[in-house]
Amino acid sequence: MRRQMAVELTRSGIETPALDARLLLCAALGVEEIALILAPEEKLSIEERDAAQAFLERRLAGEPVSRILGRREFWGLSFGLNDATLDPRPDSETLVETALRHFNAPEGESPRVLDLGTGTGCLLLALLHALDGAWGLGTDRSEKALRMARQNAAALGLERRAAFACADWGGAFCGRFHLVVSNPPYIPYADIGALQREVRDYDPHAALNGGEDGLDPYRVLFRQFGALALDGGIGVFEFGAGQETALLDLAERAALDVIEVAEDLAGKPRVMAVRRR
């Protein structure tokens, strides 16, 4: 069955047919990958074949494997997804790496982290997992996304260190944080229709749409950063292709010093770390 699935995925132009076939078959059978080696495929029951076939058809129709499984690995941790959350991207691990590189733990108090537009909670929870004793707040405009983030926090045993609140970015908060992160929607509105179908048809548009030039969220976030960060606190923001120059300009206007522009896995500028001037 696995080979047959891989052949069909190859024919339909899926980029990683063998991997997708393996993951979907494991999910259909409810087993770990190692069990596929130990259990001969001929022994699949009719129900198991039907389940695998149903997953295959969804993948052939363009649904990403992570959406079919309802899960995605990020920073070595497993995150549940729903239709209100972005599917976390490997490139966003650059944000976590950059934040950890520049973060200096405060003396005598717990680090406080704010994640604006938290989605699954992947950035906040990865940071809390890495920063001993840190406490964090994740906000999102979507209640449904926040429900998923809370579930993910509980599944990772981080629910006592993570709180989630429905809010329009950070305007409702007056707390001060050592670290503020955000991966806001940054696709220019007119470009959404031309995205890959895996993105366009399965990621929520509220997680993609950054307004006319894709920069609307940064105009708000950079302005709010000054009121949300403690003295010496840092902000770390993900951005999209070709937005670096405009973002440098927005940072300058908001009186932020740029500490680093970090590159993603493909060597493209992807993350900006800033500090209040």
20 vs 87, beta carbon nearer ligand SAM: 87
The separation between CA 260 and the C-alpha centre of its own chain, rounded to angstroms, equals 21
Q: Is 264 annotated as belonging to a binding site?
A: no
Minimum CB separation of residue 148 from ligand SAM in Å reads 10
17 vs 117, beta carbon nearer ligand SAM: 117
Contact 207, 139 (CB under 8 A): no
DSSP states along 146-193: HHHHHHHHHHTT-TTTEEEEE-STTTT----EEEEEE----B-GGGGG
52 vs 96, beta carbon nearer ligand SAM: 96
Q: Is 218 annotated as belonging to a binding site?
A: no
Pairing of β 269-276 and β 229-238: antiparallel
Contact 26, 32 (CB under 8 A): yes
5 vs 134, beta carbon nearer ligand SAM: 134
Q: Is 119 annotated as belonging to a binding site?
A: yes
The separation between CA 245 and the C-alpha centre of its own chain, rounded to angstroms, equals 23
Residues near ligand SAM (CB under 6 A) are 86, 88, 92, 117-120, 122-123, 139-142, 145, 168-169, 183-185, 206-207
Minimum CB separation of residue 40 from ligand SAM in Å reads 39
Q: Is 140 annotated as belonging to a binding site?
A: yes
24 vs 92, beta carbon nearer ligand SAM: 92
Tokens of residue 275, six digits = 């500090």
Burial call 151-163: b when 16+ CB within 10 Å, e when fewer: bbbeebebeebbe
Q: Is 152 annotated as belonging to a binding site?
A: no
Minimum CB separation of residue 79 from ligand SAM in Å reads 9
Minimum CB separation of residue 109 from ligand SAM in Å reads 25
At residue 94, what is the residue type? T
- Provide the annotated binding site: 117-121, 140, 169, 183-186
- Provide the annotated binding site for substrate: 183-186
